[in-house]
A and B are shown apart, each in its own frame.
Chain A
């Protein structure tokens, strides 16, 4: 038997709480260099701190930002944080099981399960690409992991639209991490 519990345990170890002085959200460990991905709207404000899965507090530094796509990369010094397994958002199928880990409404490491609802823009001329999930999320899930049934990250939970969870496809996150972008919101 290999089910929800084991997958969620693993995802929890790579999930961090992100604090910005006023509130916060979730984030996850991208690689073994201690780089953490979260939403730009989660870190807006003052001093950014993270609390890792073991409860330790770290001061974080924002090293890359894309306001348009709502992503930031933050770094913490001297870690040993466990990186998440990164999946491929190109190969997701509608109906497949997804899991979200985060800190909805301040609850630590909470898990939610659902399925892929649809893939693509919201329609009506929208351009942004989303993984749309039939899953119950709440504020505080922002910046956290959306994973497949094998525990691989396929998206970053970012918004809730008419009850549907919207996640940035992880392949776009990868482009952001390797790219040069420090894009401000289009004025």
Chain B
């Protein structure tokens, strides 16, 4: 074999990326049978997927060096499919926190590796390219994600909660199969950091809640709105005087065409603060102040 084997160089680079990246990838023992994966996001703090954590107590984390440490649940958020654990015995001394890469630096076609850990057996890896990257999106469970990242890699059993790394071993984000059908997606590092901060400080991710069931409708004049199909007992909308059959046209002066538009007005900072809803009732428009509850 001649020495200038480009394939061999790439091969060595990928193996090196696994060795760098795996230092912060852990196994999370929080469900029967196969453990899920997690990432040491900062000293003594592990992030994993919410959907793979089947219990809130009796959790342990197997580190890259083989140690198995007890962990406590700091908080979980089904909306973004993230859960945050604190390592009980670690005091931030011996864990290796992930080195993340900025959201802006990743591009479709980049070579990537997905890393997972299944207990003491060590790290497992799969390989592919970033197939799609686009802007912010909202999950079907209402969570806000800073960037849509779909890697073309096999996300094997136990890989949810593990890291997607670049060819240098830098962490692009956290892989999950819990938010999309079929293949997995990657939650960007920026989202993981934001949700981790919120879960560590508050134990949950706050979200405004109107307590209405809505369906998009088109009005005779071509305008779009959302008809109120149901009202939650004691919900914010019911208390404010919204009726079933009202058509929601605007929130805080901005037109709302679908439920995504409504969700985007219901961030955590909206809880407890009046939002002005413009509705169509019996042919006339009226404005109703609603104070979103917390969910």
Chain A contact residues, CB within 8 Å of chain B: 1-4, 7, 93-97, 114-121, 123, 132, 134, 148-151, 162-164
B133 to chain A, nearest CB (A): 22
For the complex, give the distance between the alpha carbons of A121 and B154 in Å. Answer: 20
Chain B hits for A151, CB < 8 A: 1
B177 to chain A, nearest CB (A): 13
Pairwise interchain contact B10-A118, C-beta atoms closer than 8 A: no
Give a binary string over B108-148; 1 marks a CB under 8 Å from any A CB, 0 the rest.
Answer: 00000100001101111111000000000000000000000
B119 nearest CB neighbor, chain A only: A123
Chain A hits for B156, CB < 8 A: 117, 162-164
Chain A hits for B6, CB < 8 A: 1-3
B123 nearest CB neighbor, chain A only: A94
For the complex, give the distance between the alpha carbons of A128 and B124 in Å. Answer: 17
Chain B hits for A121, CB < 8 A: 121
Pairwise interchain contact B5-A150, C-beta atoms closer than 8 A: yes
For the complex, give the distance between the alpha carbons of A116 and B125 in Å. Answer: 7
Q: Does B7 contact A (CB under 8 A)?
A: yes
Residue pairs across A and B with Cβ atoms less than 8 A apart, 5 shown, are: A95-B18, A119-B122, A149-B5, A149-B11, A162-B157
Chain B hits for A2, CB < 8 A: 1-2, 4-7
Pairwise interchain contact B10-A149, C-beta atoms closer than 8 A: yes
For the complex, give the distance between the alpha carbons of A119 and B157 in Å. Answer: 16
For the complex, give the distance between the alpha carbons of A121 and B22 in Å. Answer: 19
Chain B hits for A4, CB < 8 A: 7
B172 to chain A, nearest CB (A): 15
Pairwise interchain contact A95-B17, C-beta atoms closer than 8 A: yes
Chain B hits for A93, CB < 8 A: 15, 18-19
Chain B hits for A95, CB < 8 A: 14-19, 113, 125, 127
For the complex, give the distance between the alpha carbons of A93 and B8 in Å. Answer: 12
For the complex, give the distance between the alpha carbons of A149 and B6 in Å. Answer: 9
Chain B contact residues, CB within 8 Å of chain A: 1-2, 4-8, 10-12, 14-19, 22, 113, 118-119, 121-127, 154, 156-157
A176 to chain B, nearest CB (A): 25
For the complex, give the distance between the alpha carbons of A123 and B34 in Å. Answer: 10
Chain B hits for A150, CB < 8 A: 1, 5, 7-8
Q: A97: which of B7, B119, B157 is its contact (CB, 8 Å)?
A: B7
Q: B7: which of A116, A132, A134, A149 is its contact (CB, 8 Å)?
A: A149
Chain B hits for A134, CB < 8 A: 125-127, 154
Pairwise interchain contact A96-B4, C-beta atoms closer than 8 A: no
Chain B hits for A163, CB < 8 A: 154, 156
For the complex, give the distance between the alpha carbons of A162 and B7 in Å. Answer: 27
Known: A2-B5, A162-B156. A94 touches B127 (CB 8 A): no
Pairwise interchain contact A97-B18, C-beta atoms closer than 8 A: no
Chain A hits for B125, CB < 8 A: 94-95, 115-118, 134
Chain B hits for A114, CB < 8 A: 127
B18 nearest CB neighbor, chain A only: A95
